[in-house]
Amino acid sequence: MTEVVEAKNPFLIALGERVRGLRARRGLTRKAVAVAANVSERHLASLEYGEGNASILVLLQVAGALQCSLTELIGDVTTSSPEWLLLREMLSTRSDADLRRVREQVSVLFGTTQEAARTNRIALIGLRGAGKTTLGQRLAKDLGYAFIELSREIEKFAGCSISEIHNLYGTNAYRRYERRALEEAIQIYPEVIIATPGGLVSDSATLNEMLSHCYTVWLQAKPEEHLSRVAAQGDMRPMAGSAEAIEDLKLILEGRSAFYAKADMTFDTSAQPLEESFQLLRARLRAVINLPL
Whole-number Å distance between alpha carbons of 150 and 156: 10
Which residues face 146 on adjacent strands?
Answer: 192
d(CA 217, CA 196): 11
Residue 58's closest CA among 72, 31, 38?
Answer: 38
pLDDT of 52 reads: 72
Q: What phi and psi values does residue 178 have, to the nearest 5 degrees?
A: -60, -45
Which of 43, 39, 36 lies closest to 16, judged by CA?
Answer: 43
Q: At what angle do helices 204-213 and 96-109 cross, to 10 degrees?
A: 70
Task: State the angle between helix axes of 242-260 and 223-232 in degrees (0 to 180), rounded to the nearest 10.
Answer: 110
Domains of the chain plus CATH, in order, are 10-74 (1.10.260.40), 98-288 (3.40.50.300)
pLDDT of amino acid 242 = 57
> Is 165:158 a contact under the CB 8 Å cutoff?
yes
Beta-sheet strand order (sheet of 146-149) = 146-149, 192-195, 121-125, 215-220, 265-268
Report d(CA 257, CA 201) in Å as an integer: 9
Radius of gyration of the chain (CA): 21
Q: Is 73 strand, coil or helix?
A: helix
pLDDT, one tens digit per residue, over 206-226 is 999 999 999 999 999 887 776
Distance CA 178, CA 176 (A): 5
pLDDT at 235: 56
- The tens digit of pLDDT for each residue in 251-274 reads 888 888 889 999 999 999 987 888
Angle between helix 56-65 and helix 30-37 axes, rounded to 10 deg: 120
Three-state secondary structure call for residue 155: helix
pLDDT value, residue 236: 46
**What tens-digit pLDDT sequence spans the chain (293 residues)?**
455 446 678 888 888 888 898 888 888 889 989 999 999 999 999 999 888 777 878 889 998 888 888 888 887 777 667 888 788 889 989 998 899 899 888 887 876 666 777 889 999 999 888 899 999 999 999 999 999 999 999 999 889 999 899 889 888 889 999 999 999 999 999 999 999 999 999 898 899 999 999 999 999 988 777 677 666 665 544 444 556 777 877 888 888 888 999 999 999 998 788 899 999 999 999 888 776 66
pLDDT value at residue 239: 43
Looking at residue 145, its pLDDT comes to: 95
Cα 63 from Cα 37, distance rounded (Å): 8
